[in-house]
Structure 1
Amino acid sequence: MPMNLKILLPFQVFAERAGVSRIVAETPEGAFGLLPRRLDCVAALTPGILTYETEDEGEVYVAVDEGVLVKSGAEVVISVRRALGGTDLGRLRDAVEREFLTLDEQERSVRSVLAKMEGELVRRMAGFHDE
């Protein structure tokens, strides 16, 4: 009984495959493998390489950003922020490091600046309240 895989992005379906015999994804604890008879589960995903295998396509690699994987029966739904397909595993790994991990660092920087601005706004508002 093969699995049905659906990879979702925020605004579109990235991939939908039937007949998937195995899936390997990266989690904060390391690689996580799924076979069709595995119990239902949920797993947080980290930026990395998702691998799935079908009889027609063989092994397929997809660079994915952080997200979540949900397996329910034969249905596997993976929801991630960004995904890139390709056949060259080395290039996909570079894309994960260059695009996904770098953007996460930029997002942390922006959030830090916003937190400082919010803190300053709260202090000024408190100052107006005290006057």
Structure 2
Amino acid sequence: MQLKIVTPRKILMDMEVSRIVAEGPDGAFGMLPNHIDFVSQLVPGILTYETIDGTECYAGIRAGTLVKCAEEVLVSTSNAILGHDLESLQDRVKEVFRDLDENERAARSALARLEAQMVRRFLDLEQSA
């Protein structure tokens, strides 16, 4: 199978693999070559894949979608981190995703303030008219 992991910014990986294990909303599932075509939502977690030479590798996935069509498996996610060592990958995932969560919270807060200001201005305009 050809596994491709893409984010909005770049293609993180595109390589042939012999096995994939991912986690969906209903639990973990595995895929081997010749698996039927398949689509699944992915929850935040670790996607495991085995290269053709038998090396087990990992990708920390923020969340996303997995689509298997013929021999291609496409994983689309907002962010992912690749690694060969599960322990060090876990530490990197916690650090990077925590920073992203904090940035998203700050952005949502700023957006909420802008929306509130806009509503106040519309109310002021209504009262002036």
Compute the TM-score of the two structures, normalised by the length of structure 2. 0.83
Distance in 1 (CA, whole Å) between partners of 2:31 and 2:114 is 44
When the two chains are superposed, the root-mean-square deviation of aligned CA atoms in Å is: 2.0
Q: Which runs of 5+ in 1 are unaligned?
A: none
SS at match of 2:29: strand
**Which residue number corresponds to residue 78 of structure 1?**
75
Contact kept in structure 1, 2:57 and 2:85, CA below 8 Å: no
Compute the TM-score of the two structures, normalised by the length of structure 1. 0.82
**Which residue number corresponds to residue 30 of structure 1?**
27
Distance in 1 (CA, whole Å) between partners of 2:18 and 2:50 is 6
The yes-or-no answer on 1:117 pairing with 2:119 is: no
Distance in 1 (CA, whole Å) between partners of 2:95 and 2:27 is 20
Which amino acid in structure 2 is aligned with residue 118 of structure 1?
E
**Which residue number corresponds to residue 7 of structure 2?**
9
Distance in 2 (CA, whole Å) between partners of 1:126 and 1:80 is 40
Distance 1:84 1:26, change over 3 A: same
Distance in 2 (CA, whole Å) between partners of 1:60 and 1:87 is 5
Contact kept in structure 1, 2:3 and 2:72, CA below 8 Å: yes
Distance in 2 (CA, whole Å) between partners of 1:105 and 1:48 is 18
Write out the 4+ residue segments of structure 1 that deviate beyond 6 Å after TM superposition.
none
**Which residue number corresponds to residue 93 of structure 2?**
96
Identity value in percent: 48
Give, in angstroms, the shift of residue 47 of structure 1: 2.5
SS at match of 1:114: helix
Which has the larger displacement, 68-77 or 90-99? 90-99
**Which residue number corresponds to residue 42 of structure 1?**
39
